[in-house]
Chain A
Amino acid sequence: MIVADRKPLAEILSFVASCRRILIVGCKGCVTVCNVGGQKEVEILAASLRMARRLAGDPLEIGEALLERQCDPEYVAELRERVSSCDTVVSMACGVGPQFLAEAFPEQRVVPALNTTFFGGAVRHGVWEERCAGCGHCVLERFDGLCPIARCSKNLLNGPCGGSANGVCEVHPDTVCIWDRIVRRKTARGRLADLKAIVPPKDWRPAGHGGPRRRVREDLTRTS
Chain B
Amino acid sequence: MDLAIDATGLRKRFGRTDVLAGLDLTVAAGTVFALLGPNGAGKTTTINILTTLVRPDEGTARVAGFDVVAAADEVKRRIALTGQSAAVDEVLTATENLVMLGRLSGLSRRDASTRAAELAERFGLSDAASRCVGTYSGGMRRRLDLALSLVVDVPVIFLDEPTTGLDTRSRQELWTLIRTLADAGTTVFLTTQYLEEADRLADRIAVLDGGRIAAEGTADELKARIGGDVVELRSHDGGLLRELPTDGSVHGLRAAIDELDRTPAAAAEGVQVTIRRPSLDDVFLAITAGGGTSDRTRDLIETK
A, B in one complex: no
Q: Which residues of A line the B interface, CB within 8 A?
A: none
